[in-house]
Amino acid sequence: MNIGFIGLGAMGAPMAGHLLQAGHAVSVWSRRGASADFLLSRGAARCASPAAVAAASEIVCTNVTGSADVEALADELAPGFAPGAIHVDFSTIAPSAARRIAARYATRGVDFVDAPVSGGSGGAQAATLAIMWGGKSALAIRLQPIFEVLGKTIVHVGETGAGQVAKACNQMVMVAAIEAAAEAARLADAAGIDFSKVRAAMMRGSAGSRVLEVFGGRMATREFAAGVEARLHHKDYALLLDEATRLGVPLPVSAAVGQQLNALMGQGWGQDDTSSLLRVLESAGQRGPAP
């Protein structure tokens, strides 16, 4: 199939690579030319503009940062699309932005699918991402084979925007769990107890989780290099707390976690891993073991 790919960062580049390897013809465009070099050397075709990518593709995938980036990109892609084409966006954006883009495409007979992913750059490289998508269910026949090249868990959640709602829920549960792991680490350490032992004990019990394993592990060894850049989680919290305001839904724990992320950003750790939430706790309150 002819597939376009725009947004060749830590996630997008390996994803596009998997599509090439699966035998698809991949067209790319990137603002910074160099980020495409690796894919070009493996047979991808470089296009001069997003519209040219759209014109060369049945399906265009994008993986950029925020709502505004995707909306701007959609405006540039639109004139190139033939009716029947699909724009699959893997970025994490506001559900309302996804719905807006879908409505604008509809007049051209182009479909928009929001398909945010979970699993980080590791999951993108290993093709083990969880993909949660929203859009017309009839599109599954065309999309499922592509999604299966990129991820292991693929769920059609509902109509346009539903994928983004699922991603917001994912972030909410995951980062709250990171904060809980950080608080456990802080409490153990302040009490003079080795958190790695506490973690090992917890892993086998009811509190065991993927987050405790991965992020708790980074906290235990104090490896705060990303991983998942905390600024991305911070960005996602603005989206999900904004949805809560719009819908009139109280999210007390998420709001509290959002404030810890604000403090993390304020201390300049946005490009470090989200396990830095432990450092936020350490920057206030009792530092060392109890006297």
Partner 1 sequence: MNVGFIGLGLMGRPMALHLEKAGHALHLWARRPDSLKPFAGVNAKTHASPAQVAAHAEVVIVMVADAPDVEAVCLGVDGLASGGKPGLIVVDMSTINPNAARSIGLRLAEKGIEFVDAPVSGGETGAINAALTVMAGGKPAAFEKVKPLLEKMGKSVTLIGDSGAGQVAKACNQILTGVGVLAVAEAFNFATKSGVDAGKVREALLGGFAYSKILENHGQRMLDRNFKPGFKAWMHQKDLRIVMEEAHRMGLMLPSAAATAQVFNAIVGSGMGENDSITALQLLEKVSTPAP
Dihedral of CA atoms 67, 68, 71, 72 in degrees, nearest 10, equals -150
Q: Rounded to an integer, what distance in angstroms lies between the CA atom of residue 288 and that of residue 109?
A: 62
Q: How far is the CB of 256 from partner 1 (least distance, A)?
A: 6
Per-residue tokens: 122: 């590791």
Based on the shown chain and the rule CB under 8 A, indicate whether residue 141 belongs to the binding site for partner 1: no
Based on the shown chain and the rule CB under 8 A, indicate whether residue 258 belongs to the binding site for partner 1: yes
Based on the shown chain and the rule CB under 8 A, indicate whether residue 265 belongs to the binding site for partner 1: yes
Those residues with Cβ within 8 angstroms of residue 244's Cβ, 6 or more apart along the chain or in another chain: 250, 251, 254, 255
Based on the shown chain and the rule CB under 8 A, indicate whether residue 263 belongs to the binding site for partner 1: yes
- For partner 1, give the closer residue by CB, 60 or 251: 251
266, 271, 286, 289: residue in contact with partner 1 (rule CB under 8 A): 266
Based on the shown chain and the rule CB under 8 A, indicate whether residue 276 belongs to the binding site for partner 1: no
Q: How far is the CB of 289 from partner 1 (least distance, A)?
A: 25
Q: Rounded to an integer, what distance in angstroms lies between the CA atom of residue 289 and that of residue 50?
A: 56
- For partner 1, give the closer residue by CB, 31 or 246: 246
- For partner 1, give the closer residue by CB, 105 or 269: 269
Residue with tokens 């769920």: 155
Based on the shown chain and the rule CB under 8 A, indicate whether residue 259 belongs to the binding site for partner 1: yes
Q: Rounded to an integer, what distance in angstroms lies between the CA atom of residue 172 and that of residue 151?
A: 21
Based on the shown chain and the rule CB under 8 A, indicate whether residue 237 belongs to the binding site for partner 1: yes
Q: Rounded to an integer, what distance in angstroms lies between the CA atom of residue 146 and that of residue 131?
A: 11
- For partner 1, give the closer residue by CB, 49 or 245: 245
- Among the listed residues 133, 197, 223, 137, the one whose alpha carbon sits nearest the alpha carbon of residue 170: 133
Interacting stretch for partner 1, rule CB under 8 A, among 81-89, 121-129, 213-221, 261-269?
Answer: 261-269
- Among the listed residues 233, 129, 127, 123, the one whose alpha carbon sits nearest the alpha carbon of residue 174: 233
21, 49, 137, 245: residue in contact with partner 1 (rule CB under 8 A): 245
Per rule CB under 8 A, count of chain residues that contact partner 1: 25
| Peptide bond between residue 227 and the one before it cis (omega within 30 degrees of 0) | yes
Based on the shown chain and the rule CB under 8 A, indicate whether residue 290 belongs to the binding site for partner 1: no
Dihedral of CA atoms 124, 129, 134, 135 in degrees, nearest 10, equals 70
Q: Rounded to an integer, what distance in angstroms lies between the CA atom of residue 48 and that of residue 214?
A: 40
148, 187, 255, 271: residue in contact with partner 1 (rule CB under 8 A): 255
Active site residues per annotation: 167
Interacting stretch for partner 1, rule CB under 8 A, among 39-47, 70-78, 87-95, 265-273?
Answer: 265-273
Q: How far is the CB of 169 from partner 1 (least distance, A)?
A: 16
Say which amino acid occupies 182. Answer: A
- Among the listed residues 208, 212, 150, 206, the one whose alpha carbon sits nearest the alpha carbon of residue 176: 212
Site residues (vs partner 1, CB under 8 A): 234, 237-238, 241-242, 244-245, 247-252, 255-256, 258-260, 262-267, 270
